[in-house]
Amino acid sequence: MRVAIIDYGSGNLRSATKAFERAAREAGIEASIELTDKPDVVAAADRVVLPGVGAYADCRAGLNAVSGMNEALVEAVENKARPFLGICVGMQLMSSRGLEKTTTEGLDWIKGDVIEMTPSDPDLKIPQIGWNTLELNSPHPLFDGIATGPNGLHAYFVHSYHLAAANPAEVIATTDYGGAMTAFVGRDNLAGAQFHPEKSQKLGLALISNFLRWKP
């Protein structure tokens, strides 16, 4: 199995790559993890991962700057329906629009806007940085065997914005930060985590293993 992690100048790419390698090894999955900026590698991959840190507009510009990458994403994810995982801003880019600093068009795979979080408790800090638990709204193969809820495993978050999805059914999991913030979205072969699976120890490695096994 060929897993393409898209390198478009954003993100802690080494840790993402290492986490996927480790998860594959522990799960006994034969996978070659390729960190790549080559559209043909992405178009031909069996699974595609889009990481991302920073501002929405900058990440979108970075992705657009790689010639042919948007087309390769459409080919792999829309036409061939390969399993796709977006991470952090990579997940936010799945939305219709990002409203951080300016309005930026996203990939429009999950309808909705990425908006600033406004926690009900004014004492809560922005960005949300640290470990929080997840509330699963509906079962999803990527959460198989992962304990969620207040006593479940923790995920590592670093974000000031979240994806306000138009269709609540596409919000698979939320996290409580002065209200329910979108933590995980999904539909068909598309999945996206606002948190960082590659930094979330137990929960993260389990989720990545599930992604590698996933047959949507």
Which residues are at the interface with another protein (CB under 8 A)?
Answer: 12-15, 18-19, 22, 53-55, 58, 89, 124-133, 135, 149-150, 152-154, 156-160, 175-177, 196, 198-202, 204-205
Whole-number minimum distance, CB 181 to another protein, in Å?
10
Q: How far, in Å, CA of 89 to CA of 98, rounded?
A: 10
Nearest to 164 by CA among 179, 181, 178: 181
Q: How many CA atoms does the CB half-sphere of 162 hold within 13 Å?
A: 27
Q: How far, in Å, CA of 103 to CA of 113, rounded?
A: 10
Q: How far, in Å, CA of 93 to CA of 70, rounded?
A: 12
Whole-number minimum distance, CB 43 to another protein, in Å?
25
Q: Which of 140, 162, 170, 198 is catalytic?
A: 198
Q: Which is nearer to another protein, 43 or 91 (CB)?
A: 91
Q: Which of 88, 140, 162, 170 is catalytic?
A: 88
Residue 20: strand, helix, or coil = helix
Q: Which is nearer to another protein, 19 or 43 (CB)?
A: 19
Whole-number minimum distance, CB 51 to another protein, in Å?
12
Q: Which is nearer to another protein, 4 or 207 (CB)?
A: 207
- State yes or no: is 59 an active-site residue: no
Q: How many CA atoms does the CB half-sphere of 142 hold within 13 Å?
A: 26
Strands (E), 95-153: 95-98, 104-105, 110-116, 128-133, 135-136
Whole-number minimum distance, CB 78 to another protein, in Å?
28
Catalytic residue IDs: 88, 196, 198
